[in-house]
Chains A and B, each alone.
Chain A
Amino acid sequence: MTSSTLHIINKAASNSQLYRDCLDSLHDDDGVIFIESAVYTACGAEPEMFSNFNITAYALKTDILARGIQDKISEKITVVDDGEFVELCCLYKKSVSWF
């Protein structure tokens, strides 16, 4: 268990202000999980914006598969299933949802 925060974000990266606020809120060792439309952020070059931080970025498998983008997910992203999402919520001390 860590004392850090899991940030849950569910909007596509075109919501730039939301992402900026989320980025400003990232503490060392925090995690970010992309769910719903945010899984598009896990594709291609988008995860770069999180690379300045010492954080782990996850994306939710069910939402990825539902959108058919499983081949496009960046290597920097850890893909987690629904059960692992629950485990992450236990592992991190609290969550902050960005929507």
Chain B
Amino acid sequence: MVTQKKLLLIFRNPPFSSSANRDNLDIALACSAFDIPVSLLFLNDAVLQLHKNQQSHLLEQKDLTKTLNALEMYDIDQCYVIDEHLARYQLSKDDLILNCHSLAREKLASFIHDFDVVINL
């Protein structure tokens, strides 16, 4: 039995800017099928990916927020945002589609320190 590694996926992009968020989310779903414990951190502009009321069809794109909502069905419930990053866009946790834990910016380093593998797309 291989010991379980804790995986952190860091998101850094705003919605619609690149396929990185989609690609990172796909990693999360795949890893959960392999029982790897996955946490997601939405850094900076990536908090906007979680913003409610997006209308991706206006840009003829698939709705990534729908797939983000599926995380819970994959037993991925460890989602994190940084307080200061929410504040920058005048967002509160109520504006987000997912129930996220918020972290103080000063706690970021020790948070990342605890993981075994980090993928930062």
Q: Give chain B interface residues in 81-121, CB to chain A under 8 Å.
A: 105, 108-110, 112-113, 115-118, 120
Contact of A25 among B112, B116, B117 (CB under 8 A): B112
Residue numbers in B under 8 Å from A98 (CB-CB): 120
Would you call A37 an interface residue if the criterion is a C-beta within 8 Å of the partner chain's C-beta atoms?
Answer: no
Q: 25 A-B residue contacts at CB 8 Å?
A: A4-B113, A5-B118, A17-B44, A21-B44, A24-B105, A24-B108, A24-B109, A25-B108, A25-B112, A26-B109, A27-B109, A27-B110, A27-B112, A27-B113, A30-B109, A93-B116, A94-B115, A94-B116, A94-B117, A94-B118, A95-B118, A96-B10, A96-B120, A98-B120, A99-B120
Chain B residues within CB distance 8 Å of chain A: 10, 12, 43-44, 105, 108-110, 112-113, 115-118, 120
Interface size of A by Cβ–Cβ distance < 8 Å? 17
Chain A positions 7 through 46: 1 when the CB is less than 8 Å from some CB of chain B, otherwise 0: 0000000000100010011110010000000000000000
* Chain A residues close to B by CB (< 8 Å): 3-5, 17, 21, 24-27, 30, 93-99
Which of the listed residues A5, A17, A25 has the most CB atoms from chain B within 10 Å of its own CB?
A25
Give CA–CA (A96, B115) in the complex, Å.
Answer: 11
Min Cβ gap A34→B in Å is: 16
Other-chain residue from A17, A96, A99 in contact with B118 (beta carbon distance below 8 A): A96
